[in-house]
Amino acid sequence: MRKTAAHLADGREIIYYDESDELRRNLHDPRDLPERAPGSELRRDPLTREQVVVATHRQGRTHLPPSDRCPLCPSTKDRHTEIPASDYDVVAFENRFPSLSGDDGRCEVLCFSSDHETSLARVGTKRMRTIVDAWADRSADLAAMPGIEQVYCFENRGPEIGVTLSHPHGQIYALPFVTPRTATVLASARAHRGTTGGDLFQDVLSAERTGPRVVLDNEHWTAFVPEAARWPVEVHVYPHRSVPDLPALDDAERGSFAVLYTDLLGRLDRFFDKPLPYVSAWHQAPVHGDRDLSRLRLEVFSVRRAPDKLKYPAGTESGVGVFINDVAPEATAQRLRELAP
């Protein structure tokens, strides 16, 4: 893989991850862009002690443009996009409408393919491996930035989730704080270690690997539906070796993840015989603390509960955080096992 960094016309960084080591790129962005958006603002909720990001400039961001106006497609001689190249494999760049900016962090877009009509489930294992390497590389670079406490890689897929661009892509947030979900999980891991002397994540993985909710596994990874799944379709993917983050994965683990995740995403799309809307979230250890308590893992979940029905977080979920799942996790796991290619 060849990594090439450059800057867009307004100074934002762009990084190409090319599968050919011989490729040489023209890195000039000919656009005349306005000044970059003003910074976001962090505010702290005194009741929950959680951070809220105020980013008023995002109201004007691009929203579901037609395919011939997609800003994530390659540039042509007649139309210049966010990616100046005429083709690409995988590319990361600073978001033009970031939720976090300036001293409050950084937001990047990671495009999985130049093909507007494909999806992460269909890019193939070679491209998936390139994407894993890009996730790891961006995580390491962003974690090294001053003031960053956590790096969060994720993909929102489908308009049902709230996606505003249909081109296959994900995002990477470099956060100046540890997220509430991470803090809660680490508190549980700390309590578990204090009570049992064990590793919470290893104990969860060991229990699930011998139970009825495993979807698929290989030498280095296991994908399972958690016992207390909140969502109708929810799968967690754990590495067998305890590692804190994506950069810590070795070559064999990255390659075997590419195979397993491609298989899993295909099954998810066959679950309702239509493209599944989902959030796919990498949970990595904080940059500066509790790295021995944490464990890298991927959580994928969908708001679709039936072919023609969505689960909307309503009064109990949104109001007080109590989830009610209409589908038994064991049934979801069984269905996904049956959907092998």
**SS3 call for 301:** strand
Going by C-alpha positions, the residue among 216, 221, 218, 215 that lies closest to residue 329 is 215
Distance (Å, rounded) from C-alpha 139 to C-alpha 173?
9
Is the distance from CB of 239 to CB of 253 less than 8 angstroms? Answer: yes
Cα Dmax for the chain: 64
Show the beta-strand stretches assigned E in the chain. 2-7, 13-18, 41-44, 51-54, 90-94, 106-111, 150-157, 169-175, 214-217, 221-224, 233-239, 278-283, 297-302, 304-306, 309-310
Indicate if 167 belongs to the active site.
no
**Out of 57, 167, 169, 192, which one is annotated catalytic?**
169
Joined together, the tokens standing for residue 97 give 């409408």
Q: Which residues of 120-147 are buried (b: 16+ CB within 10 A; e: fewer)?
A: bbbbebebbbbbbbbbbbbbebbbeeee
Is the distance from CB of 259 to CB of 218 less than 8 angstroms? Answer: yes
Residue 209 carries which DSSP code?
H
The Cβ-side half-sphere exposure at 29, using a 13 Å CA radius, reads 19
**Catalytically annotated residues:** 169
